[in-house]
């Protein structure tokens, strides 16, 4: 079995491959790592057949849909998953064949209602049901500490003690554990009484995960994250360096129609000389009047360099085929000591 663990901050994802049949599966893909999964599969001559999300993640952005778009792989989830784009919904005990590899779904609700673990010969991918030295929390939407107890003590911990444990998260840089070690030393698993376990889980008093709302929104809908939207725009827009624009302005010709897309207050407080003002919120409404020449070189400018990227992408969508964005924004321009007018 070809096995790769991909670490993204505290998120762990996995690529498993069958070398005989050139088939691969990715478990709990992270949205920013799509090119890495594709590269790893290509390195070993594998085609990704399946993408498995062990549950609806509230703490990272799933790359399942993007990976499916890139490979045609089927998205596999628990039969109870609310995700509208799941292609295969597994019931308890069902087996997925990936070439010669056999992956068995163990439905383990508790962290979420749609949590499942994936057993693959000597190892189990535990999602957020069992972590190294911990368990997933049970206080997020659809979580249930009683179900988590049952899934752990009556299911997962009954696997052979030598079974390797590969979780979806570890924040201390550890790669894996095994069932026997977790039974012996995982602090949460020392509460073997169901009522005591539930009481412990109900009093953890954890802070909400960062990006909770965006993770649930995008993971439940399959839609893009804000970072993904920005990355897509940045990938199809050319940029102009601040120093190059400053030098061109000093020489008397910017070479571009400068278009400041910030709000009026920010524009009035200081803008690059010669810049036209068209707030991004009014871009589509006023673009025909303000920019009659679609062949003009237009350079969008904002405060931080992100909204200007979106604006340049929008202008390109509208047929301004030479629109570009300033690399950096007025904030960086000001901090570089470059000249502004107004204010």
Comparison of 128 and 303: residue with beta carbon closer to Fe ion: 128
**Least gap, CB of 224 to Fe ion (angstroms):** 20
Minimum CB separation from Fe ion for residue 169, in Å? Answer: 7
Binding flag, residue 28, Fe ion (CB under 5 A): no
**Whole-angstrom Cα distance, residue 203 to residue 222?**
32
243-250 long-range contacts (CB < 8 A, ≥24 apart) are 245/272, 245/299, 245/326, 246/333, 246/338, 246/339, 249/273, 249/274, 249/339
Q: Is 327 helix (H, G, I), strand (E, B) or coil?
A: strand
Backbone angles phi, psi at 243, to 5 degrees: -60, -40
CB of 194 to Fe ion, least distance (A): 22
Binding to Fe ion in span 57-76, by CB under 5 A: 57
Cβ closest to Fe ion, residue 57 vs residue 262: 57
As measured in angstroms, the least distance from the Cβ of 14 to Fe ion is 15
Residue from 293, 296, 264 nearest 278 by CA: 264
Q: Please provide the DSSP assignment of 114-170 as one string.
A: T-EEEEETTEEEEETTEETTEE--S-STT--HHHHHHHHHTTGGGS-TT-EEEESB-
The residues with which 123 forms a beta bridge, in sequence order, are 120, 164
∠ CA 177-178-181 to the nearest 5 degrees? 90
CB of 115: closest distance to Fe ion in angstroms?
A: 8
| Spatial distance between the Cα atoms of 106 and 52, rounded to a whole number of angstroms | 13
Given the rule CB under 5 A, which of 52-60, 86-94, 188-196, 262-270 is the region that contacts Fe ion? Answer: 52-60
Question: What residue is closest to Fe ion based on CB?
Answer: 128
Q: With contacts defined by CB under 5 A, name the span among 30-38, 120-128, 155-163, 204-212 that binds Fe ion.
A: 120-128
Q: Which of 128, 170, 178, 182 binds Fe ion (CB under 5 A)?
A: 128
Q: CA 100, CA 336: separation in Å to the nearest integer? A: 59
Nearest residue (CB) to Fe ion, 73 versus 116? 116
- The residue among 128 and 178 lying less far from Fe ion, judged by its C-beta, is 128
Segment holding 51, helix H or strand E: strand 47-52
Minimum distance from CB of 92 to Fe ion (Å)? 19
Closer residue to Fe ion, CB minimum distance, 62 or 163: 62
Least CB distance to Fe ion at residue 220 (A): 13
Q: For binding to Fe ion (CB under 5 A), which residues are involved?
A: 57, 128
């Amino acid at each position: 079995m070809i096995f790769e663990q991909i670490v993204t901050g505290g998120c762990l994802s996995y690529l498993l491959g069958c070398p005989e049949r050139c088939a691969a599966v990715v478990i709990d893909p992270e949205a920013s790592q799509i090119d890495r999964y594709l590269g790893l599969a290509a390195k070993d001559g594998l085609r990704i057949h399946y993408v498995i999300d062990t549950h609806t993640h509230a703490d990272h952005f799933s790359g399942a849909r993007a990976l499916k778009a890139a490979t045609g792989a089927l998205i596999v989830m628990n039969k109870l998953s609310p995700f509208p784009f799941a292609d295969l919904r597994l019931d308890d005990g069902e087996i997925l064949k990936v070439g010669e590899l056999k992956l068995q779904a163990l439905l383990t609700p508790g962290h979420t209602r749609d949590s499942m673990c994936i057993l693959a010969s000597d190892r189990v991918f535990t999602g957020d049901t069992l972590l190294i030295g911990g368990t997933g929390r049970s206080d997020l939407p659809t979580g249930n500490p009683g179900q988590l107890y049952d899934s752990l003590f009556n299911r997962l911990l009954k696997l052979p003690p030598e079974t390797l444990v590969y979780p979806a998260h570890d924040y201390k840089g550890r790669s894996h554990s095994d069932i026997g070690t977790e039974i012996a030393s995982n602090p949460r698993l020392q509460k073997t009484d169901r009522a005591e376990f539930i009481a412990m889980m109900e009093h953890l008093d954890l802070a909400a995960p960062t990006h909770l709302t965006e993770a649930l929104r995008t993971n439940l809908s399959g839609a893009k994250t804000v970072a993904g939207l920005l990355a897509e725009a940045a990938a199809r827009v050319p940029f102009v360096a601040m120093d190059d624009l400053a030098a061109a302005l000093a020489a008397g010709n910017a070479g571009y129609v400068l278009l400041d897309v910030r709000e009026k207050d920010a524009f009035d407080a200081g803008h690059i000389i010669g810049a036209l003002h068209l707030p991004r919120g009014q871009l589509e409404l006023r673009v025909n009047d303000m920019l009659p020449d679609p062949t003009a070189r237009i350079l969008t400018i904002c405060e931080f360099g992100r909204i200007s990227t979106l604006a340049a992408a929008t202008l390109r969508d509208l047929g301004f085929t030479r629109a570009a964005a300033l690399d950096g924004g007025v904030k960086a321009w000001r901090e570089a000591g470059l000249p502004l007018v107004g204010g």
